[in-house]
Amino acid sequence: MTTDSLDAITSHPLYAELVSKRKRFGWILTFLMMVIYYGFVLVIAYKKEWLAIPLYHGSITTVGIPVGLAVIISAFLLTGIYVYRANGEFDDLTQRIRENLQ
């Protein structure tokens, strides 16, 4: 890539928009996943009895079962949310930057 075309891209307003939006979005979702997972791990480390509480009166199923499943499902949903926006909005922005450069 030549210095000219590099400058043309980096000085493009849509490029700045793309980079800042995606960065923000990626880190927010990363943060969410970290909070969910390490929150789960810390509960196990410090308050593991919370997860062993019966789900309802007299049940063998504990609170930990739905909580564990929710962590698995949240991982899937978060990736889905990211792909939806990245393959739509972010790729459209990238496409517009490319077209503007030509």
Where along the sequence are the contacts to another protein (CB under 8 A)? Answer: 1, 6, 9-10, 15, 18-19, 22, 25-27, 29-30, 33-34, 36-38, 40-42, 44-46, 48-49, 51-52, 59-62, 64-65, 68-69, 71-73, 75-76, 78-80, 82-83, 86-87, 91, 94, 97-98
- Evaluate whether 85 touches 25 at the Cβ level (below 8 Å): yes
- Burial class (CB within 10 angstroms; exposed 0-12, middle 13-18, buried 19+) of 9: middle
Q: Which amino acid is at 52?
A: A
| Identity of the residue, 13 or 72, whose beta carbon is nearer to another protein in the bound complex | 72
In whole angstroms, how close is the CB of 10 to another protein at the nearest point? 6
Of 18, 20, 14, 25, nearest in space to 84 by CA:
25
